[in-house]
Structure 1
Amino acid sequence: MINPAMPTGVQGQSPDVPRSVFITGASGFIGQALAKRYRALGAEVRGMDLRADPANAVVAGDLTRPQQWADAARGCELFINTAAVVSLAAPWQDYRDISVRGVRNCLDVAIAAGAKRFVQFSSIAALGWQYPDQADERCDVVIGEQYRYGVAKGASEHLVLAAHAAGEIDCTIVRPGDVYGPGSRAWLSEPLKMARSGALILPNGGRGRWTPVYIDDLLDGVMLAAGLEQAKGQIFHVSAAESVSCAEFFTHHWHWAGRSGRPPSLPLWLATWLTRGIWQFNRLLGRPNEISPDAMYMFSRTGGISIDKARLLLGYAPKVSLEEGLRRSESWLREVGQLQ
């Protein structure tokens, strides 16, 4: 259940509830949760996604063709872009067209619509997979041919910060950790399927760092970042206070699937070699699949991230422990029939 309250800022203040909000990716896991929270607070919420949902004021469209949905955003006070290529195995061109150029399209729509604030959903993937423990927002973003999802996220941040610096629109960037909770496909349903089939393999003994953030805590951080004056022109890491190992997080899925012990492991070099072959074979068959070398890099991240900036500047404080978040997640999986 989504908490309907507006979070409290660092000085005890609560951000004003925006009169109207427009959300891209409005039917996705995070987009839906944001829409429900803002509606519960009394805001008018509209959005765009690949498929229309008239009951929730969502029109059909995509980031590459803003003319399809720009009219629906007119008059919005707050514009939140959650839409992107949500994949670790997509072609380079998709990342460029949707996750990078599409962000510039969103900025143009938001400006024409009269929005006062633009919030861009980036990701800690923008840091790559090799970064120091407790990496903060000053760390460099990843470049290169590997980890394309993160490269695209870093490139999208450049567009947003450039628009803010040019005075086009007030912008804020949120880099979530690994968002999970009821409704999560990426970090609940899909890993559970992989565990059932025995395909959930963690490189390097599962020692890679995982940065889980429960959906309600993420919404608190986003609302503070979207509504407080001091968040303008800033990037914020929004996650839990501490990272855990991949083995600690995904062993829950392994046990939910009825398996004992822990997910199997391979050295990173072997895991990337094998998944590259699987990925290329699936591409030849035109079969979508998230088993890819970049997934192995994600599971091998070398550090946790710091949320000190969000704590000090916004007053962000995650409330849901990993134990409680996973308990709620397991209950949801049972409610929807994904667990017996």
Structure 2
Amino acid sequence: MKIIKNIMITGITGFIGSSILKQTTISKYNIFQLSIADNKLRIDSHSSYLDAINNIDCIIHCAARVHIMDDTSTNPLDDYREVNTRGTLNLARQAVEAGVKRFIFISSIKVNGESTQLGHPFKFDDNRSPEDFYGKSKSEAEEQLLQLAEETGLEVVIIRPTLVYGPGVKANFSSLLNLVSKGLPLPFGCIKDNKRSLVSVDNLVDLIVTCIDHPKAINQVFLVSDDNDVSTNEIVQQMAKALGKSQWQLPIPTDCYRLAGKALGKEDVINRLLGSLQVDITHTKETLGWKPPQTIEDGFKQTADAFLQRKLKD
């Protein structure tokens, strides 16, 4: 049996890719990077990666085309497919040619969908039901990777994270953290009846590293979270506690949000704020004998500390 020793990571400058290098247990492997800056390569349908992946045993594929604000593309779905679907399969096919043993694909919970009914979480074997271009491109990549695995013997591992947070996180999580840090009353007092599954980047990376050579990870789909679902109100409470701020949340009725969302044409935004997105990670835990090593409290504290340190430097 081929022993995995040489690891190639794509998307090394991204949030997840860069975090893998900080995981202490990764140090037993030889780590190589597939970087656009270093190798003049892109993840697409036609680039050649054979020289870069020669002698690689496992590829951790984190690189992806993610959501772009004010995207001016005339065909955004095809743009997502070129990187996330065709580019992924191009890399995977060349991995087979180069003799790579295992291919770990960092997908997205968006493959399952955008929301769940409270108490009815997504499961690993649910039918795929992506709604946006990003989710569709990831879903198509998953299907084609598993087909390639069946045809060639490449060991494929698919990981679908929920919302990932941690030191250096950006986007909506960072914006909310900044808002909470000001110590002002926020209007989330009534948003207590939804539940969201989050995952700290430390927990996600621990699972990724576990999957590098775990014999039961082969050709599996794993959902991942902190295994502690929280409401919007609880997220703000956890942030305030981690930041050392007292937090008074105004009891604005949820119906007011829905009316405002309809009036402003922001119903999708309001649905995400008020709605639930839960995942059941029982399959992940039982298959791999794994559980999230970091609590949500410690994850929020680590994220808040990094946020405050960055503010001091600015």
TM over 0.5: yes
Displacement of 1:182 in angstroms is: 1.3
Specify the alignment match of 2:200 in structure 1.
Answer: 214
- Bigger mean CA deviation after superposition, 41-50 or 122-131: 41-50
Specify the alignment match of 1:150 in structure 2.
Answer: 135
Alignment of 1:75-114 (within 5 A): 75-87=55-67, 91-114=76-99
Specify the alignment match of 2:47 in structure 1.
Answer: 67
Residues 87, 191 of structure 1: CA spacing in aligned structure 2 closer, same or farther, 3 A cutoff?
farther
Which of 21, 24, 29 is the equivalent residue of 1:35? 21
Secondary structure, counterpart of 1:221 in structure 2? helix
Displacement of 1:17 in angstroms is: 7.7
Which of 141, 165, 175 is the equivalent residue of 2:128? 141
Secondary structure, counterpart of 1:333 in structure 2? helix
Counterparts of 1:242 and 1:161, CA distance in 2: 30
Alignment of 1:160-309 (within 5 A): 160-186=145-171, 188-192=173-177, 205=191, 207-250=193-236, 261-262=248-249, 267-268=257-258, 270-271=260-261, 274=264, 298-309=272-283
Displacement of 1:314 in angstroms is: 0.1
Work out whether residues 188 and 253 of structure 1, in 8 Å CA contact, stay in contact via their aligned partners in 2: no
| Residue-by-residue CA offset, 1:240-262 (whole Å, 9 max, x unaligned) | 11211133224555796989534
| Residue-by-residue CA offset, 1:65-103 (whole Å, 9 max, x unaligned) | 652654222211001111112227553232222222221
Work out whether residues 20 and 26 of structure 2, in 8 Å CA contact, stay in contact via their aligned partners in 1: no
TM-score normalised by length of structure 1: 0.74
| Residue-by-residue CA offset, 1:188-235 (whole Å, 9 max, x unaligned) | 43444576899x998x94754321222222122112223111111110
Counterparts of 1:83 and 1:224, CA distance in 2: 19
Counterparts of 2:153 and 2:259, CA distance in 1: 45
For 1:73, give the aligned amino acid: I
Q: CA RMSD in A?
A: 3.5
Displacement of 1:273 in angstroms is: 6.8
Secondary structure, counterpart of 1:36 in structure 2? coil
Displacement of 1:123 in angstroms is: 1.4
Counterparts of 2:139 and 2:259, CA distance in 1: 25
| Residue-by-residue CA offset, 1:80-135 (whole Å, 9 max, x unaligned) | 11111222755323222222222112212322332100011111121112335232
For 1:118, give the aligned amino acid: F
Residues 298, 119 of structure 1: CA spacing in aligned structure 2 closer, same or farther, 3 A cutoff?
farther
Counterparts of 2:36 and 2:178, CA distance in 1: 24
Q: Does residue 47 of the first structure (1) align with residue 33 of the second (2)?
A: yes
Specify the alignment match of 1:316 in structure 2.
Answer: 290
Secondary structure, counterpart of 2:311 in structure 1? coil
Counterparts of 1:272 and 1:48, CA distance in 2: 44
TM-score normalised by length of structure 2: 0.80
Which of 300, 306, 314 is the equivalent residue of 1:326? 300
Work out whether residues 23 and 35 of structure 1, in 8 Å CA contact, stay in contact via their aligned partners in 2: no
Unaligned segments of structure 2, at least 5 residues: none
Counterparts of 1:147 and 1:250, CA distance in 2: 27
Residues 170, 209 of structure 1: CA spacing in aligned structure 2 closer, same or farther, 3 A cutoff?
same
Specify the alignment match of 1:20 in structure 2.
Answer: 6
Counterparts of 1:148 and 1:273, CA distance in 2: 26
Secondary structure, counterpart of 1:51 in structure 2? helix
Counterparts of 2:49 and 2:262, CA distance in 1: 39
Counterparts of 1:36 and 1:196, CA distance in 2: 27
Residues 224, 267 of structure 1: CA spacing in aligned structure 2 closer, same or farther, 3 A cutoff?
same
Counterparts of 1:17 and 1:33, CA distance in 2: 24
Which of 120, 144, 167 is the equivalent residue of 1:159? 144
Counterparts of 1:206 and 1:316, CA distance in 2: 30
